Amino acid sequence: MVKVNDYDFSKHLKTEKDIQLYLETAFEDGDPGFVAYALGNVAKVRGMSNVAKDSGLNRENLYRALSKKSTPSYKVISGVMQSLGYGLAPVKLKKAG
- Sequence spans of domains, the chain: 14-83
Contacts of 78 (CB under 8 A, 6+ apart): 88
Quote the pTM value.
0.83
pLDDT average, residue stretch 80-85:
94
pLDDT average, residue stretch 67-88:
91
Model pLDDT, residue 79: 93
pLDDT average, residue stretch 54-65:
90
pLDDT bucket at 19, cuts 50 / 70 / 90: very high
